[in-house]
Amino acid sequence: KYRHALANLKDVLTGFKYSKIPPGIRADHQIRSMYGSIYIELGVARPQDADDGKFKMEYWNVLNPYLPIAAFGIWQIIAGQAEHLRDYMYQKHYAPAIAAKWCNVLELQSNDGTVIEADFTLATA
């Protein structure tokens, strides 16, 4: 697993004296490849109801591109449940799909704003 890193350990221990890596500040060298994992803990809260308990589209707008069905449809289904079950129903039936769609549009950017190709497929949903 760490063979690629251990191959360069001798360079580090000798201060790169016998290294095939060109001299200079290591941060100045071009990155040719990069790999790894990013772990994101994501929570998707259920939008609140209006003060009068009715549906309010403004509260759902930010989620609209990621919803599996129309916002009002989700609200109607959830509103038909007892108050103490609404968050549970939302988290169980809708939040995972919203999170998956949101992750599909994530971008990884370098310090200068260059978009770095990355696959943000969820490991668990």
31-45 pLDDT per residue, tens? 777 777 888 888 899
Q: Which of 58-62, 95-99, 108-112 has the lowest mean pLDDT?
A: 108-112
Average pLDDT, the chain: 87
Quote the CA–CA distance of 115 and 89 in Å, as a whole number.
36
Per-residue pLDDT at 2: 66
Per-residue pLDDT at 80: 95
Residue 98 has pLDDT above 80, yes or no: yes
Q: Report which of residues 25 and 119 the model is more confident about.
A: 119
Domain ranges of the chain: 38-125
Q: How confident is the model at residue 1 (pLDDT cuts 50, 70, 90)?
A: low
Residue 72 has pLDDT above 80, yes or no: yes
